Amino acid sequence: MAEQNDAKVIGPGSAGSGARPIPGPPQRDPVELLNELVTMKDRGLLSDAEFAERKARILGKWLLLPNL
């Protein structure tokens, strides 16, 4: 008789409903990030358009954070 192998293959998404997502990098304070942007712009490292785009991205992420 052939041996029966009861091993289960575990693939992506098969960890079950109790699995916790792997946390990403810690969120930085948006005020800190904006201060860094202002410094970069003042030093001539960012154009007005680059500054506006990055500021919008930071504020957009900050506004989407869940209320804690």
Count of CA atoms in the C-beta half-sphere (13 A) of 23: 3
Q: Which residues contact 40 (CB under 8 A, 6 or more apart)?
A: 46, 51
What's residue 27's pLDDT? 76
pLDDT at 53: 94
Report the pLDDT value the prediction gives residue 39, as an integer from 0 to 100: 97
Residues listed for the chain: 68
Q: What pLDDT sits at residue 38?
A: 96
Residue stretches of the chain with pLDDT short of 70: 1-19, 21, 24-26, 65-68
